[in-house]
Structure 1
Amino acid sequence: MNAFGRSNRGDSVLLDECIEQMRMVDPDATIMGILFEGISSAQAAHPGVDWSERIGNSSRFSGPLGRLEQLVYLFVAWFACATGWFGLAQVLPVSQRKTLTAYRAADFVISAPGGYIHDVNLSYIIALLHIHFGTLVGAKTVLAPQSIGPIKSKLGAAMTRLVLSPCALMCVREGYSRQFLVGELGIAPEKVVVAGDSAFWNLHVTENGSEIDHLLQEIGLKRGEQFVGATVVDWPFPHRTNPAEDKARYEDGLVHIFDKLYREHGLRTVIFNQVASDLDLAQRVAERSGAHVLVHKTETEPEILRAAIGRARIFVGTRFHSCIFAMMEARPLTAISYLPKTEFIMRDLGLDDLVIDIASIDCQVLSRLVAESLKEEKAVSVRVNRAVNHYRNTKMRFGAALAEVLETEKEPQLKGAVS
């Protein structure tokens, strides 16, 4: 559970890897998957998983009525799990009723990798509730590698502590997440392990070169044309004094560097579509820049997106899993950090000097980083490749952590698992 869906290509790679690891631990497990959106595409990718909808989705209303509907569904699910009165599920839409039935039947509940429990917006409360449902029904609840914190409000921190304390295991991707859980929330340290980001173990990439040629030409590149790859994020800059000013500075920085790359090196930029909600910002940047910035608007499977990113000379990424795609293809990159996960995972890789903070982006610093990645392209490529291989060889993989949890069970099989 707590999986977004396949419209975020980073999240879909993480979900693919999670399912693969669960199958490796127990090939006969019955897996039920809970998604925010995109059940049909998930079913096509993983027909062996029984998919249903996240509790709290509102389909009949928008605005205040939609939010009220969402709250009613979440309360009904919480009350049913807390009291055992599952007859109340009749209030829920059919797909969400199926989700509650999956919780009731599960031996294990796994919060999907890549989740981010932090108070940028109130969606973290819904994520916490879906974890809470698992512990309420008595299922052994595990968090696959994800990021947790910061949570600035005392109430939010208390709620997070209450929900996560009963979990069997929490896999986090960075040291700061472990410090937040153990040091600030007081979670038992033996329940928290640092594991690698699951995307680094997903090796699926298309080898169909003509398919990538066709995609890049559809975007607007000439056959064989060298280019810069990029992703952007339509970020709200939470907890900042002047978020509108920060957002304008970020957009200006993107326009500046893409213009500079074209003027000085003749390289056009392709802004790739990792998450559809970023396309409006991508289009604004393209319109301000002119014909030397192209926008990839179609939705493509991760193995195709990764191969296309791998064709770029260099990569300037804000969406972090697009940066991982670039690193898996040994592309020199500059990573624009909008959440702590970027800074800390890049530090674990030994590549933190390739990171710039989105909130204090400086055109001169950004220009220097990008210029160095282009000037030292071969050397940076070798360095990135070595860093990725070292990370994969030294970090714990989720399957290993899950296997350790299973070994503590009297019946060492995943009879039913909710992901």
Structure 2
Amino acid sequence: MSESRMGRKYLIVNAFGRSNRGDSVLLDECIEQMRVVDPDATIMGILFEGISSARAAHPGVDWSERIGNSSRFSGPLGRLEQLVYLFVAWIACAIGWFGLAQVLPESQRKTLMAYRTADFVISAPGGYIHDVNLSYIIALLHIHFGTLVGAKIVLAPQSIGPIKSKLGAAMTRLVLSPCALMCVREGYSRQFLIAELGIAPEKVVVAGDSAFWNLHVTENGSEIDHLLQEIGLERGEQFVGATVVDWPFPHRTNPAEDRARYEDGLVHIFDKLYREHGLRTVIFNQVASDLDLAQRIAERSGAHVLVHKTETEPEILRAAIGRARIFIGTRFHSCIFAMMEARPLTAISYLPKTEFIMRDLGLDDLVIDIASVDRQVLSRLVAESLKEEKAVSVRVNRAVNHYRNTKMRFGEALAEVLETEKEPQLKGAVS
């Protein structure tokens, strides 16, 4: 007796949650592309936070919690709890003792059992494998669990590096080497994987940042009017859009000095725009963890800097950013939102992804490094955006269209991996 082959089972790991509007756009596009390429797919997903919001956005995905989350304790006890959960998961995946899942909280138990049945583990698009903090180790472990259970590993378009420590680089090499395919968003990541980690070049492909293909933007103008008025703008008021990032300036000699220079530079340019052009600035909320910094800058600046504090879905945030005269963005996906709406912009680069993707777009002259924010350079870039607003808008629009027409999309890369499976042996298939 035989039964028809079951559809492939995919497990998306290393997704953050919908409170980061950039990451949620990338995840939306990733899921959409997976369904286009493999319509019969069963998709499971692991989130750091916000499972209820993800279920509302993608009810067809079976969501569960990242292994290692600690809810009962904080401080040293919380870290110990996190290590215990991760170690239990590693043992279970390594030797097949999935009964150990009973040690984990219910949602993390569900996650561990999802690994057991997954044919493919897809590491979510974004940028989280870098050593700004130790969270990249947890991301690597969630990839490694997939290898241990025999799943095929694919990295959706993302940025990787820098990783300065030799131990961290060795761990990253060990985890990523078995992957079937790594899609990276820019040349820096490709160079880092091949030249610094020794990854086989045929396993690394450059694909476009998935956000450039996500065309969901609200056309409800009254909704955006209402949002901007809630933030504090007058109806129809012209304004400058911005985002900030609460950055620790890792690997720098004097991070406190760099941070002060960055904040001072933003306060200076926002004041200048108000004094010389009468334009107030709205600091948009792309990532909730940046709000404290945004509020501090607003308090230093006065009433001409407003902070968007509510959490909004990406299609609303993008439309609101599209109303700005010009955009000054540090969070890179807010810059992408601005470019998708053809807004003149200045991008402040805090990781190589910004500089290199803007270079791919042919817009690298619109970038300034966060670690060396110079008031004069920042003022010049912003002034040029205002002075040549229409010309820069046309240039940005052309750059985005060219990027979309020439870069590989994630679905194309995933389809090539599936094509190599002539007779895939799927977990749970019965013959």
TM-score range, shorter chain: over 0.9
Gaps of 5+ in 1: none
**Structure 1: how far apart are the matches of 2:356 and 2:84?**
38
1:417 CA displacement: 14
Question: What residue number does 1:183 align with?
Answer: 195
Work out whether residues 328 and 348 of structure 2, in 8 Å CA contact, stay in contact via their aligned partners in 1: yes
CA 1:348–1:278 in 2, change beyond 3 Å: closer, same or farther? same
CA 1:223–1:311 in 2, change beyond 3 Å: closer, same or farther? same
Question: What residue number does 1:324 align with?
Answer: 336
Is 1:65–2:73 an aligned residue pair?
no
Gaps of 5+ in 2: 1-12
How far does the alpha carbon of each residue in 1:94-137 deviate from its partner, in whole angstroms, 9 at most, with x for none?
00010011111000000000132111110010000000001110
Work out whether residues 106 and 418 of structure 1, in 8 Å CA contact, stay in contact via their aligned partners in 2: no
1:149 CA displacement: 1.1
**Structure 2: how far apart are the matches of 1:196 and 1:116?**
17
Q: Which structure is higher in RCO with an 8 Å CA cutoff and minimum separation 6?
A: 1
CA 1:416–1:407 in 2, change beyond 3 Å: closer, same or farther? farther
1:150 CA displacement: 1.3
1:210 CA displacement: 0.3
1:184 CA displacement: 1.1
How far does the alpha carbon of each residue in 1:203-258 deviate from its partner, in whole angstroms, 9 at most, with x for none?
00000000000000000000000000000000000111111111111000000000
The alignment partner of 2:293 has SS state of helix
The alignment partner of 1:56 has SS state of coil
**Structure 1: how far apart are the matches of 2:315 and 2:165?**
39
The alignment partner of 1:324 has SS state of helix
Work out whether residues 108 and 417 of structure 1, in 8 Å CA contact, stay in contact via their aligned partners in 2: no
**Structure 1: how far apart are the matches of 2:270 and 2:39?**
47
How far does the alpha carbon of each residue in 1:157-198 deviate from its partner, in whole angstroms, 9 at most, with x for none?
110010000000000001111111111111111100000000
**Structure 1: how far apart are the matches of 2:296 and 2:70?**
30
Question: What residue number does 2:100 align with?
Answer: 88
**Structure 2: how far apart are the matches of 1:401 and 1:116?**
20
1:268 CA displacement: 0.3
**Structure 2: how far apart are the matches of 1:234 and 1:389?**
31
**Structure 2: how far apart are the matches of 1:417 and 1:44?**
30
1:27 CA displacement: 1.3
Work out whether residues 46 and 66 of structure 2, in 8 Å CA contact, stay in contact via their aligned partners in 1: yes
**Structure 2: how far apart are the matches of 1:194 and 1:27?**
24
CA 1:49–1:362 in 2, change beyond 3 Å: closer, same or farther? same
1:26 CA displacement: 1.0
CA 1:92–1:42 in 2, change beyond 3 Å: closer, same or farther? same
**Structure 2: how far apart are the matches of 1:394 and 1:179?**
20
1:416 CA displacement: 9.2
How far does the alpha carbon of each residue in 1:258-316 deviate from its partner, in whole angstroms, 9 at most, with x for none?
00000000000000000000000000110111110000000000000000000000000
CA 1:342–1:248 in 2, change beyond 3 Å: closer, same or farther? same
The alignment partner of 2:133 has SS state of coil
Question: What residue number does 1:162 align with?
Answer: 174
Aligned-CA RMSD value? 2.1
**Structure 1: how far apart are the matches of 2:184 and 2:423?**
26
Question: What residue number does 1:30 align with?
Answer: 42
**Structure 1: how far apart are the matches of 2:46 and 2:423?**
25
Of the candidates 356, 359, 364, which is equivalent to residue 376 of structure 2? 364
CA 1:80–1:414 in 2, change beyond 3 Å: closer, same or farther? closer
CA 1:376–1:103 in 2, change beyond 3 Å: closer, same or farther? same
What is the aligned length?
A: 419
Work out whether residues 117 and 427 of structure 2, in 8 Å CA contact, stay in contact via their aligned partners in 1: no
Is 1:390–2:402 an aligned residue pair?
yes
Of the candidates 131, 134, 139, which is equivalent to residue 146 of structure 2? 134
Question: What residue number does 1:399 align with?
Answer: 411
**Structure 1: how far apart are the matches of 2:128 and 2:114?**
23
Work out whether residues 102 and 418 of structure 1, in 8 Å CA contact, stay in contact via their aligned partners in 2: no
CA 1:111–1:245 in 2, change beyond 3 Å: closer, same or farther? same
Which deviates more, 404-413 or 206-215?
404-413
Work out whether residues 227 and 268 of structure 1, in 8 Å CA contact, stay in contact via their aligned partners in 2: yes
**Structure 1: how far apart are the matches of 2:72 and 2:61?**
27
1:13 CA displacement: 0.2
Work out whether residues 5 and 35 of structure 1, in 8 Å CA contact, stay in contact via their aligned partners in 2: yes
**Structure 2: how far apart are the matches of 1:294 and 1:147?**
31
**Structure 1: how far apart are the matches of 2:324 and 2:412?**
34
**Structure 1: how far apart are the matches of 2:270 and 2:429?**
46
Work out whether residues 330 and 350 of structure 2, in 8 Å CA contact, stay in contact via their aligned partners in 1: yes
Of the candidates 242, 257, 260, which is equivalent to residue 248 of structure 1? 260
Work out whether residues 310 and 326 of structure 1, in 8 Å CA contact, stay in contact via their aligned partners in 2: yes
The alignment partner of 1:2 has SS state of strand
Work out whether residues 31 and 417 of structure 1, in 8 Å CA contact, stay in contact via their aligned partners in 2: no
CA 1:416–1:63 in 2, change beyond 3 Å: closer, same or farther? farther
The alignment partner of 2:208 has SS state of coil
Work out whether residues 30 and 414 of structure 1, in 8 Å CA contact, stay in contact via their aligned partners in 2: no
1:91 CA displacement: 0.5
How far does the alpha carbon of each residue in 1:11-45 deviate from its partner, in whole angstroms, 9 at most, with x for none?
00000000000000111211001000000000000
Percentage of pairs with the same residue:
96
The alignment partner of 2:159 has SS state of strand
CA 1:87–1:75 in 2, change beyond 3 Å: closer, same or farther? same
**Structure 2: how far apart are the matches of 1:397 and 1:192?**
14
Work out whether residues 358 and 364 of structure 2, in 8 Å CA contact, stay in contact via their aligned partners in 1: yes
CA 1:417–1:151 in 2, change beyond 3 Å: closer, same or farther? farther
1:80 CA displacement: 0.7
Work out whether residues 33 and 418 of structure 1, in 8 Å CA contact, stay in contact via their aligned partners in 2: no
TM (norm. structure 2) is: 0.96
CA 1:415–1:331 in 2, change beyond 3 Å: closer, same or farther? farther
Q: After the TM superposition, which parts of structure 1 deviate over 2 Å for at least 4 consecutive aligned residues?
A: 410-419
Which deviates more, 339-348 or 112-121?
112-121
